[in-house]
Chain A
Amino acid sequence: DAKTTQPPSMDCAEGRAANLPCNHSTISGNEYVYWYRQIHSQGPQYIIHGLKNNETNEMASLIITEDRKSSTLILPHATLRDTAVYYCIVRVGDAGGTSYGKLTFGQGTILTVHP
């Protein structure tokens, strides 16, 4: 799976949009971009994923650049409960073989939402 680079930390004011960037310049054509978050002492929570088109769900939007070398997760109206570590992961969609589809989390971005 391709490597990702994220800023170690970001701040956001409550009610404003939080834009979390991720670089994945070595991404392959069959690799998806996934986003998870982890609130302190809890299990990771799936947020959204995409291949090349922008995606939106009830939690967030995912914007993937045309060359697919970077992406941005957007939380449109951040709340205090969105304070968490956000992980950007790149992985193949059909991950058979020895990888078994395992997830590899990097260091992520610590997002702090303040009042």
Chain B
Amino acid sequence: DVKVTQSSRYLVKRTGEKVFLECVQDMDHENMFWYRQDPGLGLRLIYFSYDVKMKEKGDIPEGYSVSREKKERFSLILESASTNQTSMYLCASSLWTGETQYFGPGTRLLVL
């Protein structure tokens, strides 16, 4: 079974803090994704990585950066957290582009 894990299930941070969300997959997948999910807005793609050290912006990259130093790990960084970044953050991975994506359990982030 594909296993995608995220570093935290719940996180509370203060405005202006730097926040790191980590995602690890154990299936040697090439592609990894970061989405955020908000009520009424569905799933929105923040960043995507198709290889180590390679990244592409998704639909809403502003205020976020990512890092992929190893194939199995994809980190999402909020450089200076703001209240409008309060959301559910979901990491996913897939073997190749267009293949089935498998999701982690999600991190619910609250920025005060």
Chain A residues engaging chain B, CB cutoff 8 angstroms: 34, 36, 41-46, 49, 91-96, 100-107
Query: When A43-B90, A44-B90 are in contact, do A105 and B101 touch as well, CB less than 8 Å?
Result: no
Q: Which of A41, A95, A96, A106 contacts B106 (CB 8 A)?
A: A41
Point out the residues of chain B lying under 8 angstroms from A104, CB to CB. 42-43
Out of B6, B42, B48, name the residue touching A100 (CB < 8 Å).
B48
Interface centre among B4, B31, B90 (most CB of A within 10 A): B90
B83-112 interface mask toward A, CB cutoff 8 Å, 1 = contact, 0 = none? 000001010101001111111111010000
B58-105 at interface with A (beta carbon < 8 Å): 58-59, 88, 90, 92, 94, 97-105
Size band of the interface chain B makes with A: 20 to 34
Chain A residue numbers with a CB within 8 Å of B52 are: none
What are the interface flags for B1-39 relative to A under an 8 Å C-beta threshold, 1 for contact and 0 otherwise?
Answer: 000101000000000000000000000000101010100
B101 touching A101, Cβ below 8 Å: yes
Query: B98 touches which one: A46, A101, A105 (CB < 8 A)?
Result: A101
Complexed CA–CA distance, A95 and B50 (Å): 12
A94 engages B103 (CB within 8 Å): no
Can you list 5 residue pairs at the A/B interface with Cβ under 8 Å? A45-B103, A46-B103, A101-B94, A101-B99, A103-B35
Q: How far is the CB of B64 from chain A (nearest CB, A)?
A: 15
B104 touches A46 (CB 8 A): no
Q: Is the CB of B106 within 8 A of A46?
A: no
Cα(A89)–Cα(B35), bound, Å: 16
B83 to chain A minimum Cβ distance, whole angstroms, is 20
Residues of A within 8 A of B98 (CB): 91-96, 101
- Taking CB atoms, residues of chain B closer than 8 Å to A102 are 33, 35, 45, 48, 58-59
Chain B neighbourhood of A45, CB < 8 A = 103
Residues of the B chain whose Cβ atoms lie less than 8 Å from the Cβ of A105: 37, 42-43
Closest to A97 in B: B97
Knowing A102-B33, A102-B48, A106-B42 are in contact, say whether A44-B103 is a contact too (CB < 8 A): yes
